[in-house]
C-alpha cells in the first residue's frame, strides 16, 4: 500500500511541475538596452527566447516597441506584429527585419494572409492598417541581439487592454522575401495577449494548452516509456534467471497496467490537444500515438485471452506476442523523441537528454542482467559436466528458456499466468 501511495505522490508532483514556471521578466542584458532608450515596460515572451518591451500612452494611443532575439544563422529574419482578430499568424500586421548574407539589415511591413500559410511568398506592403514611424532594425553587439524598434499609432479597432501580439523567427530570406519559418511547436505558439495599460500578460491563464502539453509528455514518458519497459525487464529476468523471484508476475502485471493506464490518459490529452490546434498538426506524432495505443490495447487483452500453457498453439502465440510487444517499445521510443522534438519546452534540450539518460539506465540494467543470466546458465551447465559443445542439456529446463533469447512466456506488455508456465 505504501508503494502505491508513493507512486501516486510522485506522479502528482510530476504533473504539477509545468505549473511552477510563470516568469515574464526580461533578461538583465535586454532590460539594460531598453532602459537606455527609455522604454520601461517589458515581458519575456515564452517561445523562441524572444523579448518584448514597450511604452504606451493611453490618451494619444502611441505605442513604442522594442522586440529582440538572437539570429544565429548567416541569414534570417525577425518579425513582430499585431493581430486585431486573434493571437495567431493569419491576419497579423507584421514588421519584419531581414538579415542578409553580406551582413546588411533591411526592414519592411507585411500583411500575413491565409495564402501565406499555404507557402506563397510574402511580399512587402505599403499599407498594413497601422501608422508605423521610426521603424528600424539593428544589431546590439554587446548582447548579440537583433532588435526591431518602431513607434505605432494604435487604431481604435485594437483594444489596448487585450492586444494580440505575434512574433516569429526565420532562418532564411532572399531580397525582401522571408522564407517559411521552422514548423515546430514553439514557432506555432508565438503569440500572446497583452494588456498594454496594466502591463499584464493575460494569455498564460487563458490558454492551458501549453501546460497540458507538458502533462501529456510527462504521462507518456512515465507510462509508455518507463513503466512498460520496467515490466518487461522484470518478466524476462526475474522468473528464473538470473534470480528467481516469486512475486515477479504480480510486479510485472502491476507495471504494465499502471504504465498502460498513464499512457492512455496521456494519449487522450494528446487527442484533445490535436483537436484544439486549428492552425497546425503533427501527423507523424499523431499516427504513431494511435498505433501505440491500438497495439498496446491488443497486448493488454492477453491478460485474459492468451492460450493455456498446454495449448499446442501457445508457442506460436508467444512468438507473435513477443514480436509485437518489442515492436511497440521501439515505436514508443521513436514517438517520445518525436514529441520532445515538437515540444522543446526548455533550451539546451533538457527533456531530450533526460530521456536519453533514462534509456541509457534501462539499457545498462538489461545488459547487466543479460550478462548475469548467461554467466549463471553456463556455470550451472558445466558444473553438471555437460559434454555438449555449447548446446543446452535436454534435462535442463533453463537452457530451453535461453535458447530462443527469451524468457519463457515473457512479453513486452504482459506475461503468461504462473499456472500456464
Asked if residue 216 belongs to a known ligand binding site, the reply is: yes
194 in Cβ contact with 53 (< 8 Å): no
151 and 63 in contact (C-beta within 8 Å)?
A: yes
Grid cell in block for residue 115: 495564402
Whether 321 has a binding-site annotation, put simply, is yes
**Taking a C-beta distance cutoff of 8 angstroms, is the pair 395, 386 a contact?**
no
Sheet holding 62-69, edge to edge: 41-44, 51-57, 62-69, 145-153, 131-140
Give counts: helices (H), strands (E), the chain.
Answer: 13, 13
All three cell numbers of 234: 522484470
**Helix 209-222 / helix 2-16 crossing angle, nearest 10 deg:** 140
How many angstroms separate the CA atoms of 332 and 182, rounded?
25
Judge whether 252 is annotated as a binding position. yes
Residue matched to cell numbers 494519449:
267
* Three cell numbers, residue 258: 499502471
Does 181 belong to an annotated binding site? no
CA gap 44, 31 in Å, rounded = 10
Dist. CA 150–CA 135, nearest whole Å: 4
> Per the structure block, which three cell numbers stand in for 275?
483537436
d(CA 416, CA 410) in angstroms, rounded, equals: 7
Q: Any idea what the Cα angle at residue 365 is, between residues 361 and 368, rounded to 5°?
A: 135
From the CB of residue 246, how many other CB atoms can be counted at a distance below 10 Å? 9
Q: Which residues are known binding-site members? A: 216, 252, 285, 321
Q: Which residues are known binding-site members for heme b? A: 216, 252, 285, 321
Amino acid at each position: 500500500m505504501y508503494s502505491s501511495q508513493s507512486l501516486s505522490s510522485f506522479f502528482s508532483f510530476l504533473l504539477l511541475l509545468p505549473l511552477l514556471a510563470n516568469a515574464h521578466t526580461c533578461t538583465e542584458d535586454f532590460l539594460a538596452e531598453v532602459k537606455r532608450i527609455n522604454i520601461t515596460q517589458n515581458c519575456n515572451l515564452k517561445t523562441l527566447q524572444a523579448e518584448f518591451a514597450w511604452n504606451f500612452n493611453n490618451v494619444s494611443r502611441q505605442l513604442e516597441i522594442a522586440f529582440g532575439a538572437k539570429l544565429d544563422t548567416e541569414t534570417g529574419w525577425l518579425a513582430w506584429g499585431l493581430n486585431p482578430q486573434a493571437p495567431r499568424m493569419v491576419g497579423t500586421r507584421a514588421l519584419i527585419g531581414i538579415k542578409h548574407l553580406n551582413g546588411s539589415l533591411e526592414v519592411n511591413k507585411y500583411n500575413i494572409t491565409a495564402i501565406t500559410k499555404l507557402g506563397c511568398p510574402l511580399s512587402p506592403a505599403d499599407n498594413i492598417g497601422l501608422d508605423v514611424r521610426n521603424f528600424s532594425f539593428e544589431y546590439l553587439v554587446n548582447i548579440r541581439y537583433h532588435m526591431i524598434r518602431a513607434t505605432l499609432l494604435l487604431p481604435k479597432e485594437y483594444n489596448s487592454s487585450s492586444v494580440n501580439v505575434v512574433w516569429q523567427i526565420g532562418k532564411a530570406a532572399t531580397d525582401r522575401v522571408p522564407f517559411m519559418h521552422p514548423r515546430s511547436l514553439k514557432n506555432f505558439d508565438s503569440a500572446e495577449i497583452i494588456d498594454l495599460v496594466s502591463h499584464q500578460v493575460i494569455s498564460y491563464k487563458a490558454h492551458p494548452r501549453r501546460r497540458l502539453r507538458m502533462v501529456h509528455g510527462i504521462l507518456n514518458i512515465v507510462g509508455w516509456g518507463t513503466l512498460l519497459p520496467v515490466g518487461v525487464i522484470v518478466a524476462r529476468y526475474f522468473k528464473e534467471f538470473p534470480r528467481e523471484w516469486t512475486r515477479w508476475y504480480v510486479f510485472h502485471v502491476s507495471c504494465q497496467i499502471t504504465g498502460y493506464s498513464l499512457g492512455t490518459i496521456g494519449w487522450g490529452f494528446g487527442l484533445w490537444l490535436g483537436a484544439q490546434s486549428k492552425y497546425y498538426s503533427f501527423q507523424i506524432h499523431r499516427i504513431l500515438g494511435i498505433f501505440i495505443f491500438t497495439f498496446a490495447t491488443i497486448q493488454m487483452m492477453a491478460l485474459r485471452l492468451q492460450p493455456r500453457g498446454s495449448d499446442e498453439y501457445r508457442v506460436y502465440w508467444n512468438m507473435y506476442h513477443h514480436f509485437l510487444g518489442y515492436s511497440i517499445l521501439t515505436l514508443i521510443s521513436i514517438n517520445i523523441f518525436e514529441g520532445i522534438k515538437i515540444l522543446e519546452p526548455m533550451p539546451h534540450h533538457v527533456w531530450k537528454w533526460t530521456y536519453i539518460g533514462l534509456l541509457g539506465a534501462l539499457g545498462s540494467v538489461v545488459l547487466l542482467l543479460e550478462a548475469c543470466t548467461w554467466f549463471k546458465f553456463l556455470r550451472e551447465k558445466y558444473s553438471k559436466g555437460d559434454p555438449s559443445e555449447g548446446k543446452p542439456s535436454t534435462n535442463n529446463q533453463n537452457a530451453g528458456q535461453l535458447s530462443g533469447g527469451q524468457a519463457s512466456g515473457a512479453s513486452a506488455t504482459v506475461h503468461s499466468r504462473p499456472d500456464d508456465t
